[in-house]
Chains A and B, each alone.
Chain A
Amino acid sequence: MDVQTLIDGLFKGDIISTTRLISIIENDFLKAEEISRRIYPHTGNAHVLGITGPPGVGKSSLVNKLALEWNKKGKNIGIIAVDPSSPYSGGALLGDRIRMREITGIKGIFIRSMATRGSLGGLARATRDAINILDASGVYDAVIVETVGAGQSEVQIMSIAKTVILVLSPGLGDEIQAMKAGTMEIADIFVVNKSDKPEALETVNDLERMLDYEGLNEKAGWQPVVVSTSSTMNTGIDELVTKIEEHQAFLAGMTSEKLHEKRAAMELIDTLITKIENEAIKKAKESPVYNELVKKIVEKKIDPYQAADIILKEYMQLSRQ
């Protein structure tokens, strides 16, 4: 099926078109660009929720409960769950669906597992495109993206989210300390999951202290909040939904375009970086001197920095012509 037919299907809410388009943007960067451009005007309707946190804190189980709660209120939810690829084989075991078993098959809930594959930049791009596809289908009131770990890719993926939730679990004091400041700063809501554990209260207090003292509360007028949940005991989920809706209302009520512009700028920069990278590497490999330079580096006749400068110079000249 050609891309245009799939896009037509997508706008009609056809599930098979939706899911095949996601595969295409995952697998084929060139077609991905075409798709993203055509659907972009139709995006921006779903509330995009980013959920992140260290491994083992129960993110998937929380997404499971959250989607269930939202679905009961008549909302349609799209979920993108990202799991790591194996660095050895490039394959992946995607286990999030099993943790979300309770909601698989419920009408109005869509789950898609994605592997990180090799490239971090590529992941952020593919994840964002997948979110945009779900958004553009017009079917989903909210799109939840769940990623593992912390770091650059996290921040990049989360930049598309309107509400960012950082999930922690009790007794993770060291992890919180070690958490990249970037990840702490992008969160609008902090969740302490597994609140049935005895150390939970302490973790909540720690977090609240950090939010007070470390200036993390200056987010264009939004005061980040801490919510305790337990996905096994099913507690705190309704409060979390309320907080998300409050944040959504806060965003809607913002008269300033600043936040939207910030997000648009970030998307632009990220896309630009990806494009420049791809373009530059493609050109570099096409360059007649490329193979020769590689050999010279091996023979230590030249270092990679010098080699890169040579290609760059050649590239600049080409662009000027």
Chain B
Amino acid sequence: MKMFDSSFIERIKKEKKEWQEDSPRNLFEQTNSSSIPIKLIYTPADINHLDYEQDLGFPGNYPFTRGIHKTMYRGRPWTMRQFSGFGTAEQTNQRYKYLLSEGETGLSVAFDFPTLKGYDSDDPISLGEVGVCGVAIDTLKDMELLFEDIPLDKVTTSMTINAPTPILFSMYLAVAEGQGISCDQVGGTVQNDALKEFIAQKSFIFPPEPSVKLVIDVIEFCTKNVPRWNPVSISGYHIREAGATAAQELAFTISDGLMYVSKTIERGLDVDAFAPRLSLFFCAHNDFFEEIAKFRAARRMWARFMKERFGAKNERSLWMRFHTQTSGVALTAQQPENNIVRVTLQALSAVLGGTQSLHTNSFDEAWQLPSEKAVTIALRTQQIIANESSVTATIDPLAGSYYIEWLTDKIEEEAMKYIDRIDTMGGMIEAIKKGYPQREIANSAYEFQKQVDNKKQIIVGINQFKDEHEELEIPRFRVDPEVEKTQLKRLKRIKENRNHEKVLRHLNELRKATERDENIIPYVVNSVKAYATLGEIISILKEVYGVWREECVFA
């Protein structure tokens, strides 16, 4: 049923026309990040095509445009999850214990670049990077130290890891087993989103097909053995940060998700057996309403795809649960305190968009790992929104806004054009091999930078309202050179003292299983238990799968 009757709409249209005649012409030209032209005002005529029950529905009802839960934040506020990790396993372990003593129940692990790329700390290419941007993990020993005296049945752990997920995940299970905790008692999340690495973050190792195969190995293993684990977090965040528009972020993320779902079904799993454990991860950027519209559109699109394309029946399979992080690239190094305001607006858009969990960036993150004070302000920002602003009092408060509903539709429409295009190419793997999303993102990033340079896009403190006397002070990274030494010493000791024959045997079995195209997780678990290193296991997989090298994708 239409929102308004047609004679009313005709009258509104006529009145709008008369109203517009007095307005200056140049007011009508403005677009958002997704190149959608924004009108000066919106009226009932812009949303009259909507059917409330079919297109919006009540919160907790299909297609979930207004939210996945009936109670939303009245029932439970979003989870305030802040991502962290630094230095050695011991240092991070101390930090975790402190956080747990303060009442946190969820841990989050950031790994250093060598770990993310599957290199051991003693690999020449790791020079200067060990323990710098996260914790260094080479063997099970590091993982044991990381979670020493932390009961893995009592906490949940989120690990930001992608290509080497099977190894880090297996190490986690092995640590739990060492604590006498079985697979079905551990809970947590791995990012495990290989496709967005090719598209945006570029921490890939193997070519797209085997990379996706490994993602599905983790999904399959978790579905059968680790039911409390979220085996993949389908991430648009990095896509957006690499320069995508809101519509591209939405489209590419959903296309990635569609690929994982169809490949898992091909593996023989029932969609309702694993889909409830899938979640998405988006960015909250500067354009306030565009972001809110994006989150709302995403929920509706996901639900429809799951139901219509994959025939999901379990309601939980239709829920698009999502985590949000405020935009890192939107932070400025200049006049850094302004970032607190930016983060507040971005965080508010995520909340009004109905996020399940939120990470707010610290104002000093344009140039360093955040200081303690900045982290606290970032967390307080969320607490102020949740407790003081009263925006949580009613569910989806912007529903029915002519602009928001029109924009929600429009973003969906733009995103669907990309998704259709990718479907025509044969899905995201093929699109990546053609360099399609990579090229679209590089174009958007360059266009954006040109707009900043010619002041079509204003950034306070960068191209307008500059503080001419400001001396940009970027503080030194707090890297302790001892971290690398300690790590190398430990790795050397382990390599000398482990049972070599056992390592070789398990690695050999892993190789054979990989060649037979079996689910490799059980073999990886055995290898890590024998203290095979991350780099050694990755090398075996590289031998079988080959490595991926990005071609030069420019316009």
A and B touch in the complex (CB under 8 A): yes
Chain A residues in the interface with B (C-beta under 8 A): 93, 95-96, 98-99, 101-102, 232
Name the CB-closest residue of A to B434.
A56
Stretch at the interface among B123-131, B468-476, B546-554: B546-554
Residues in B whose Cβ lies below 8 Å from that of A102: 549
CB distance from B206 to the nearest CB of A (A): 12
Q: Decide: A95 and B551 in contact? CB cutoff 8 A.
A: yes
Expressed in whole angstroms, the Cα–Cα distance for A102 and B548 within the complex equals 11
Q: Decide: A93 and B549 in contact? CB cutoff 8 A.
A: no
Expressed in whole angstroms, the Cα–Cα distance for A98 and B207 within the complex equals 16
Residues in A whose Cβ lies below 8 Å from that of B554: 93, 95
Q: Decide: B551 and A99 in contact? CB cutoff 8 A.
A: yes
Residues in A whose Cβ lies below 8 Å from that of B551: 95, 98-99
Expressed in whole angstroms, the Cα–Cα distance for A282 and B554 within the complex equals 38
Name the CB-closest residue of A to B552.
A95
Q: Decide: A232 and B207 in contact? CB cutoff 8 A.
A: yes
13 pairs, CB–CB < 8 Å, chain A vs chain B:
A93-B552, A95-B551, A95-B552, A95-B554, A96-B552, A98-B549, A98-B550, A98-B552, A99-B549, A99-B551, A101-B549, A102-B549, A232-B207
Name the CB-closest residue of A to B548.
A232
- Additional pairs, 14, CB under 8 Å, beyond known A95-B554, A98-B552, A99-B549: A93-B552, A93-B554, A95-B551, A95-B552, A96-B552, A98-B549, A98-B550, A98-B551, A99-B551, A99-B552, A101-B549, A102-B549, A232-B207, A232-B546
- The 7 lowest CB-CB distance pairs between A and B, nearest first, are A95-B552, A98-B552, A93-B554, A101-B549, A99-B551, A98-B551, A99-B552
Hey, what's the 0/1 contact readout for B514-551 against A, CB within 8 Å counting as 1? 00000000000000000000000000000000100111
Residues in B whose Cβ lies below 8 Å from that of A101: 549
Hey, what's the 0/1 contact readout for B129-153 against A, CB within 8 Å counting as 1? 0000000000000000000000000
Expressed in whole angstroms, the Cα–Cα distance for A151 and B207 within the complex equals 34
Residues in A whose Cβ lies below 8 Å from that of B550: 98
CB distance from B435 to the nearest CB of A (A): 10
Residues in B whose Cβ lies below 8 Å from that of A232: 207, 546
Contacts of B178-224 to chain A: CB distance below 8 A = 207
CB distance from A197 to the nearest CB of B (A): 11
CB distance from B407 to the nearest CB of A (A): 35
CB distance from A61 to the nearest CB of B (A): 8
CB distance from B552 to the nearest CB of A (A): 3
Secondary structure class of chain B's binding surface, majority of residues: loop
Residues in A whose Cβ lies below 8 Å from that of B549: 98-99, 101-102
Expressed in whole angstroms, the Cα–Cα distance for A96 and B549 within the complex equals 12
Name the CB-closest residue of A to B553.
A95
Expressed in whole angstroms, the Cα–Cα distance for A101 and B550 within the complex equals 9
Residues in A whose Cβ lies below 8 Å from that of B546: 232
CB distance from B545 to the nearest CB of A (A): 11
Name the CB-closest residue of B to A98.
B552
Expressed in whole angstroms, the Cα–Cα distance for A104 and B223 within the complex equals 43
Expressed in whole angstroms, the Cα–Cα distance for A232 and B208 within the complex equals 12
Residues in B whose Cβ lies below 8 Å from that of A96: 552
Residues in A whose Cβ lies below 8 Å from that of B207: 232
Residues in B whose Cβ lies below 8 Å from that of A95: 551-552, 554
Chain B interface extent, by class: under 10
CB distance from A98 to the nearest CB of B (A): 4
- Residue among B207, B546, B551 with the most chain A CB within 10 A? B551
CB distance from B246 to the nearest CB of A (A): 27
CB distance from B177 to the nearest CB of A (A): 39
Expressed in whole angstroms, the Cα–Cα distance for A85 and B207 within the complex equals 30
Expressed in whole angstroms, the Cα–Cα distance for A260 and B551 within the complex equals 38
Name the CB-closest residue of B to A56.
B434
Name the CB-closest residue of B to A86.
B555
Expressed in whole angstroms, the Cα–Cα distance for A98 and B551 within the complex equals 6
Expressed in whole angstroms, the Cα–Cα distance for A96 and B552 within the complex equals 8
Expressed in whole angstroms, the Cα–Cα distance for A98 and B549 within the complex equals 8
Contacts of B152-190 to chain A: CB distance below 8 A = none
Expressed in whole angstroms, the Cα–Cα distance for A95 and B552 within the complex equals 5
Name the CB-closest residue of A to B554.
A93
Name the CB-closest residue of A to B547.
A102
Expressed in whole angstroms, the Cα–Cα distance for A4 and B546 within the complex equals 46
CB distance from B224 to the nearest CB of A (A): 32
Expressed in whole angstroms, the Cα–Cα distance for A316 and B50 within the complex equals 80
Name the CB-closest residue of A to B551.
A99
Expressed in whole angstroms, the Cα–Cα distance for A160 and B546 within the complex equals 36
Expressed in whole angstroms, the Cα–Cα distance for A102 and B207 within the complex equals 15
Expressed in whole angstroms, the Cα–Cα distance for A96 and B554 within the complex equals 12
Expressed in whole angstroms, the Cα–Cα distance for A95 and B207 within the complex equals 20
CB distance from B47 to the nearest CB of A (A): 42
Expressed in whole angstroms, the Cα–Cα distance for A40 and B550 within the complex equals 39
Expressed in whole angstroms, the Cα–Cα distance for A99 and B551 within the complex equals 6
Expressed in whole angstroms, the Cα–Cα distance for A196 and B46 within the complex equals 50
Name the CB-closest residue of B to A64.
B549
Expressed in whole angstroms, the Cα–Cα distance for A93 and B549 within the complex equals 18
CB distance from A132 to the nearest CB of B (A): 28
Expressed in whole angstroms, the Cα–Cα distance for A95 and B442 within the complex equals 15
Expressed in whole angstroms, the Cα–Cα distance for A98 and B546 within the complex equals 17
Expressed in whole angstroms, the Cα–Cα distance for A232 and B551 within the complex equals 12
CB distance from A283 to the nearest CB of B (A): 41
Name the CB-closest residue of B to A61.
B551
Expressed in whole angstroms, the Cα–Cα distance for A232 and B207 within the complex equals 10
Expressed in whole angstroms, the Cα–Cα distance for A232 and B210 within the complex equals 13
CB distance from A52 to the nearest CB of B (A): 19
Expressed in whole angstroms, the Cα–Cα distance for A21 and B117 within the complex equals 39
CB distance from B536 to the nearest CB of A (A): 22
Name the CB-closest residue of B to A94.
B552
CB distance from B205 to the nearest CB of A (A): 14
Expressed in whole angstroms, the Cα–Cα distance for A133 and B549 within the complex equals 31
Residues in B whose Cβ lies below 8 Å from that of A99: 549, 551-552
CB distance from A238 to the nearest CB of B (A): 17
Residues in A whose Cβ lies below 8 Å from that of B552: 93, 95-96, 98-99
CB distance from A79 to the nearest CB of B (A): 16
Residues in B whose Cβ lies below 8 Å from that of A93: 552, 554
Expressed in whole angstroms, the Cα–Cα distance for A206 and B551 within the complex equals 29
Expressed in whole angstroms, the Cα–Cα distance for A46 and B546 within the complex equals 32
Name the CB-closest residue of B to A234.
B546
Name the CB-closest residue of A to B435.
A56
Expressed in whole angstroms, the Cα–Cα distance for A102 and B546 within the complex equals 12
CB distance from A136 to the nearest CB of B (A): 30
Name the CB-closest residue of B to A102.
B549
Name the CB-closest residue of B to A83.
B552
CB distance from B434 to the nearest CB of A (A): 9
CB distance from B555 to the nearest CB of A (A): 9
Expressed in whole angstroms, the Cα–Cα distance for A96 and B551 within the complex equals 9
Expressed in whole angstroms, the Cα–Cα distance for A96 and B207 within the complex equals 19
CB distance from A148 to the nearest CB of B (A): 13
Expressed in whole angstroms, the Cα–Cα distance for A232 and B549 within the complex equals 10
Expressed in whole angstroms, the Cα–Cα distance for A95 and B551 within the complex equals 8
CB distance from A127 to the nearest CB of B (A): 20
CB distance from A65 to the nearest CB of B (A): 12
Expressed in whole angstroms, the Cα–Cα distance for A265 and B423 within the complex equals 53
CB distance from A164 to the nearest CB of B (A): 24
Expressed in whole angstroms, the Cα–Cα distance for A98 and B552 within the complex equals 6
Name the CB-closest residue of B to A100.
B549
Expressed in whole angstroms, the Cα–Cα distance for A99 and B552 within the complex equals 7
Expressed in whole angstroms, the Cα–Cα distance for A199 and B305 within the complex equals 32
Name the CB-closest residue of A to B550.
A98
Expressed in whole angstroms, the Cα–Cα distance for A218 and B20 within the complex equals 75
CB distance from A302 to the nearest CB of B (A): 43
Expressed in whole angstroms, the Cα–Cα distance for A26 and B551 within the complex equals 26
CB distance from B210 to the nearest CB of A (A): 12
Expressed in whole angstroms, the Cα–Cα distance for A52 and B549 within the complex equals 22
CB distance from B202 to the nearest CB of A (A): 12
- Residue among B207, B549, B550 with the most chain A CB within 10 A? B549
Expressed in whole angstroms, the Cα–Cα distance for A99 and B550 within the complex equals 8
